[in-house]
Amino acid sequence: MSKDKEKYGAQSIKVLEGLEGIRRRPSMYIGSTGKDGQHHLVYEAVDNSVDEALAGHCNKINVSLNKDGSVAIEDDGRGIPVDIHPIYKVPAVQLALTKLHAGGKFDKKSYAISGGLHGVGISVVNALSKKLIVEIKRKGKIYRQEYSRGNVKTKLKVIGKCSDTGTKVTFWPDPEIFSTLEFDYKILETRFREIAFLNAGLKIELNDEVKNKKIEFFAVGGLIEFVKWINKSKDVINKPIYFKREMDHTIIEVSIQYNSGYQENIFGFVNTINTVEGGTHVFGFKTALTRVINDYAKKKGVLKDGNLSGDDVREGLTAIISIKIPEPQFEGQTKTKLGNSEVKGFVDSVVTSALSEFFEENPSIAKKIVSKATDAAKARLAAKKAKDLVRRKNAFSLGGLPGKLADCSNKKSENTELYLVEGESAGGSAKMARNKENQAILPLKGKILNVEKANPAKTLSSEEIVNMITAIGTGVGEQFNIEKLRYNKIIIMTDADVDGEHIKTLLLTFFFRFMHQLIENGNVYAAMPPLYRIRKRKDYYVYSDKELKRVTEKLGTSNVTRFKGLGEMSSTQLWDTTMNPKTRKIKKIFIEDAVEADRTFSMLMGDDVQARKMFISKNAREAQLDV
């Protein structure tokens, strides 16, 4: 036997005591040790308070980002139990904070419905915090206990008296675990707005002591207000349709509103958790919607032959499906997809019944929705012809690729990059600068079509868009296939000026609306060309005005050149600053919040001029003047 085999015995089997396992493998519990994971700690603590609201015992939650780097979450719920546990002989709150899978969520008498990480949430927060303080108001007394990295630092003590109840958790994320300790106000704002919409009547206050900002979320109308908020920048064709049903401790709420656009937006939530990958609740909703609209169209004689497809009935649709169930089964620890098979039938049945009844009672709205769907069917046939035309065109062209594409020699997609370059001049420089083995260049003529305002048939008839679709290889819509992706990175490279930013936004709109899977898969990037070149014995490239000031002060010089565009750079400069993987800077594009992303693209690229003006006015101070 080898020495390694001889050493492998009982002594090799290690037991990770307490919460040590969480600290060893934090990403298993919170997704990452970066910004997303750090914010996940806040969500877990807040979810505990939301569970109190779901149980009918909490009306207000306060979240404070404190100057000392901590976050405090306080609610007016019942307060975590403080009495001694009969088996473990420690206060119940200590058990909840130091043991995995310990909590009231397993006792359905305490919580019929809950979110969070199935009872591991608050203990995970404790394990990954440098310091955590819990304060509880219960039975007329205020209790306090302190922890550090999952370990008890003080005994549970009574520190005062009170006439109300509630829980306050203050924690400092551990710098040994997280790569960043700064919280993003905007990320938290988006999440708490969703929670308020999904829990009508619950008040959530977010207070940033560092930036002296405060905002309160409160939605009496719940999902109706949510769908209105999403469609705020869109031309809607009906008032929100809303219904709510309850059966066997399962609650379903649905709000539906159509707009005159072409995009489909369905957002599913389970126990207030955003299931970004959908699941059985969303599938059940889609099935019922298609059936009800087809049945109504046939009944009224609008549809005589064939059926409207799912895509037809969902064009221009904004829908929120919120399910609250006792035992949710999620695929993946971070809860992105619901797996409960029984939920599909339940949602299908409820939506079929409620929507059919609504259509019968509101024929004018039903007529508008059916008309929208039949128009979509006609456009779908036109788009199919356009796609077929693209395929035929590719079949007869050399290798099926656009003539403008300077492809790379490496045929393995893992190591390859496609640069989408603004303008023929910059495209020429990029072709000379590139590494021909793994970097492909596709020059674009100016500003591409704004797909937010165009129907699919027009979009798929645009030469520049067809060239991109062909070069990337995956197809779009229902034909999208990530396995056919020809390049690992799709890099948008535009000038560092206002026009360049506009072109970048047009391209991102296209990817978000037609190839969002590429963004979700981490394949879309934006190049960051330098703004200035400073020459003093050698060249220094800087990428912001703030960096310019710092570098010029350090070098003691003002011989500064402002780059007006990529076309002004020589191929050597372009390679050194923007294309060389060892020296370049690129931004990875990802969808942090699909709801907010949809609203932003609609506002920036849609027809609501007033909303766009307000956005520009609000954010003008953060913009840099390009002279």
Q: Among residues 241, 217, 221, which one has the least CA distance to residue 318?
A: 241
Q: Are 379 and 456 within 8 A, CB to CB?
A: yes
In DSSP terms, 318 is beta-bridged to 257, 265
Cα separation, 537 vs 494, in Å, equals 29
Q: Among residues 276, 289, 291, 281, which one has the least CA distance to residue 321?
A: 281
Side chain identity at residue 64, one-letter code: S
Instruction: Using only the alpha carbons of the chain, give its radius of gyration.
Output: 28
Active-site residues, by number, are: 422, 495, 497, 499
Q: How many C-alpha atoms does 595 have within 13 Å on its Cβ side?
A: 26
Q: Are 269 and 347 within 8 A, CB to CB?
A: no
Cα separation, 559 vs 377, in Å, equals 61
What are the helix (H) ranges across 71-158?
92-98, 121-127
Helices 594-605 and 498-514, interaxial angle, to 10°? Answer: 130
Secondary structure, 3-state, 184-252: CHHHHHHHHHHHHHHCCCCEEEEEECCCCEEEEECCCCCHHHHHHHHCCCCCECCCCEEEEEEECCEEE
Question: What separation in angstroms does the CA of 126 have from each of 15, 68, 73, 147, 148?
Answer: 20, 18, 13, 7, 7
Which letter does DSSP use for residue 577 in this model? I
Q: Among residues 500, 492, 622, which one has the least CA distance to residue 564?
A: 500
377-381 long-range contacts (CB < 8 A, ≥24 apart) are 377/308, 377/309, 377/312, 379/262, 379/315, 379/455, 379/456, 379/457, 380/309, 380/311, 380/312, 380/456
DSSP strands (E only) in 575-615: 586-588
Q: Are 51 and 112 within 8 A, CB to CB?
A: no
Cα separation, 473 vs 483, in Å, equals 9
CB atoms within 10 A of CB 255: 25
- Please state the φ and ψ torsions of residue 539, each to the nearest 5 degrees: -90, 135
CB atoms within 10 A of CB 186: 11
- CA 445 distance to own-chain centroid: 31
Region class of 275: left (phi > 0), else alpha (psi between -120 and 50), else beta:
beta
